[in-house]
Amino acid sequence: MLWLLLTGCVDDAAIADEMERGLSTANEAVIASLAAAEVFRWAGLPPTTTLRHADGCGCPCREAPAGAEGTLLLLDYAELGCFPDSDLLPFPLRGHIELTLDGDQADAALQEMLLDRRIDIQGDARATELTPTTAFLHTTLTIGPMATTTAISVAHDDDSVWFEGVVTTSSGRATLDGVRIPLSDVFGPCPVPSEGRIVVDGADDDVIVRPVGDQQVEADHRDRVSDRVGWCAYAPTFW
């Protein structure tokens, strides 16, 4: 049970339970955001090959088919899986993504996407307001056993990724507010936010989750503040 810094109320156990649900939902929202960001990470960038299934062309290989005139980009992850060059996902990924491009918009068709040889990623995804480093993502993805929807903006810099917007998972609805994930912290037990906050909708009041350093977070709910806890203790079991 999560410990509360403010105690003495008969509702403390219920508040702690709601905080723990909030922490789990926030964790799921981060994973859903990273998966959605990977789908469109390469949409604004040039191809790396003119031959599908080529070798040495990156993870994924990016091909613009002859005659497509910039309207189609084929992404191929290695047949046995490869670690994405984006550093957005910590496991080898295999499968294919077909991006249909129209100005600053792209629609994605996912084919046989498999993360870590055990986590299926499938569903529908669209990006708008595309640039080489930013986009707004509208996705309905199933990641392993987890159903998700996202309506989020994403921004990439040299060593991190930033998210703003709303993510819904089977555990609840979360709003990401200035959430930064250092790419170095994607690898490990789970991806860990270093800045911002995640607000999880509650039945009576929201749960606000904030990183506090050293891969720890705290949660606020109904004028109570949790003790600091390890973020990855609340990662979904399939991760």
pLDDT of residue 90: 97
With 0.85 as the threshold, say if the pTM is over it: yes
Q: What is the mean pLDDT of the chain?
A: 91
In the chain, the percentage of residues whose pLDDT exceeds 90 is 77
Residue-wise pLDDT for 126-171, tens only, equals: 999 999 999 999 999 999 999 999 999 999 999 999 999 999 998 9
Q: Which amino acid is at 188?
A: G
- How far apart CA 168 and CA 199 sit, in angstroms, is 12
With pLDDT > 70 as the criterion, what percentage of the chain qualifies? 92
CA distance 178 to 193: 10
Query: What distance in Å separates the CA atoms of residue 146 and residue 22, rounded to the nearest whole number?
Result: 16
Question: Tell me, what's the pLDDT at 69?
Answer: 73
d(CA 93, CA 80): 8
Query: What pLDDT is stored for residue 66 in this prediction?
Result: 74
Q: Evaluate if residue 55 carries a pLDDT over 70.
A: no
Rg of the chain over Cα atoms, rounded to whole angstroms, equals: 19
* In the chain, where the domains are located: 12-234
Structure tokens at 62: 């990016």
CA dihedral (64, 66, 68, 70) in degrees, to 10, reads 50
pLDDT at 45: 84
Residue 32, pLDDT above cutoff 70: yes
What is the per-residue pLDDT across 63-109, written as a single tens digit (0 to 9) for each?
988 767 778 999 999 999 999 999 999 999 999 999 999 999 999 99
What's residue 64's pLDDT? Answer: 87
How far is the CA of 110 from the CAs of 74, 83, 86, 225, in angstroms?
Answer: 11, 17, 17, 41
DSSP secondary structure letters along 22-70: HHHHHHHHHHHHHHHHHHHTTTTS--SBSSTT-SSS-SSEEE--TT-TT
Between these two residues, 69 and 205, which has the higher pLDDT value? Answer: 205
| Range with lowest mean pLDDT among 24-33, 47-56, 179-188 | 47-56
Could you tell me the pLDDT band of residue 4, with boundaries at 50, 70 and 90?
very low
For the record, the structure tokens of 94 come out as 């295999």
Would you say residue 202 has pLDDT above 70? Answer: yes
Q: Residue 123: in which H helix or E strand, if any? A: strand 119-128
In the prediction, which pLDDT does 53 show? 59
Q: How many CB atoms lie within 10 A of CB 8?
A: 6
**Residue 177: which pLDDT band, with cuts at 50, 70 and 90?**
very high
